[in-house]
């Protein structure tokens, strides 16, 4: 499976410009033979949360139409990162997933809101986990800050996810935490972790990429560096089974001690 990680610079509060850039990058990735395309967090607006009434995607409709059309045209799976969405009178940080036929196969609202970027003042937290199929393999998806909650990631692993997708806007000052946490989540859950972080800046933060694809044994297959661009990684879908057989942590768990 060839995965394309779209490490893009996001224009602050400019959904039209961001949609056009995302479209161009997705088309390039598809034309280069990607099986799965992954976008970063809040790629439609960035974190201009105080303007969501004007710029959030109503019911995610614009995002869904774009992702569905491109997925069907190029017969590629798209993990739609996340976008700011308005539903009724509330706002969410939402991920949409589409298969090769352009069908929506997953949807997720960020469960853990990041207080340092004021998400809790503007957004509603999600209430559900996120499982979806990609070419017959069960996968999971969370968003950015979610990876600091190992019990949340373990829930997805126990539910059968073999690959965890993580779109993010992770700021530069804590990028070492990003890399360490992603490696830990891959190793402890014996799964692939595909994490896509943005680059660029907004009025309050600097973002420096380091999008990563990490194997179940902890090897870093891709580190996207600090520049805007598309990173590609090939993953071996049998590796999850091999690693879980080698060290059977799932069989050796003692659930009665964890309650």
Per the annotation, the verdict on 124 as an active-site residue is: no
Closest listed residue to residue 212, CA positions, set 84, 46, 40: 40
3-state secondary structure of 255: helix
Tokens of 198: 């943005």
**Active-site pick, 110, 119, 139, 169:** 110
Q: Are 175 and 186 in contact (CB under 8 A)?
A: no
**Active-site pick, 41, 107, 119, 169:** 41
> What count of Cα atoms within 13 Å lies in the side-chain half-sphere of residue 6?
30
Q: 22: which residues sit within 8 A by CB, 6+ positions away?
A: 6, 8, 39, 43, 44, 66
DSSP 163-206: EEEEEE--BGGGHHHHHHHHHHHHHHHTSEEEEEE-EEE-SS-E
Q: What does the alpha-carbon distance between residue 41 and residue 60 come to, in Å, rounded to a whole number?
A: 14
Per the annotation, the verdict on 41 as an active-site residue is: yes
Q: Are 35 and 77 in contact (CB under 8 A)?
A: yes
Per the annotation, the verdict on 144 as an active-site residue is: yes
**Active-site pick, 11, 86, 144, 169:** 144
CA diameter of the chain: 52
Give me the active site residues, please. Answer: 41, 110, 144
């Amino acid at each position: 499976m060839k995965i394309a990680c779209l490490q893009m610079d996001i224009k602050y509060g400019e959904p039209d410009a961001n949609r056009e850039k995302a479209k161009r990058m997705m088309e390039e990735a598809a034309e280069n033979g990607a099986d799965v395309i992954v976008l970063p967090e809040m790629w439609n607006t960035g974190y201009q949360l105080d303007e969501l009434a004007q710029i959030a995607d109503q019911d995610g409709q614009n995002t869904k139409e774009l992702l569905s059309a491109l997925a069907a045209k190029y017969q590629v799976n798209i993990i739609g990162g996340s976008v700011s969405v308005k539903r009724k009178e509330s706002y969410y940080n939402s991920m949409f997933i589409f298969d090769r036929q352009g069908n929506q196969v997953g949807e997720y609202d960020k469960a853990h809101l990041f207080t340092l970027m004021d998400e809790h003042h503007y957004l509603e937290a999600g209430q559900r986990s996120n499982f979806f199929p990609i070419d017959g393999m069960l996968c999971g998806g969370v968003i950015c800050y979610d990876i600091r909650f190992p019990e949340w990631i373990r829930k997805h692993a126990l539910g059968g996810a073999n690959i965890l997708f993580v779109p993010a806007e992770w700021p530069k000052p804590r990028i070492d935490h990003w890399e360490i946490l992603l490696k830990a989540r891959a190793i402890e859950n014996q799964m692939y972790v595909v994490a896509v972080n943005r680059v660029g800046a907004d009025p309050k933060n600097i973002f420096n990429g380091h999008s990563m694809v990490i194997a179940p044994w902890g090897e870093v297959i891709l580190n996207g560096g600090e520049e805007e661009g598309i990173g590609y990684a090939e993953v071996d879908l049998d590796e999850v089974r091999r690693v879980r057989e080698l060290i059977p942590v799932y069989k050796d768990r003692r659930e009665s001690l964890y309650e």
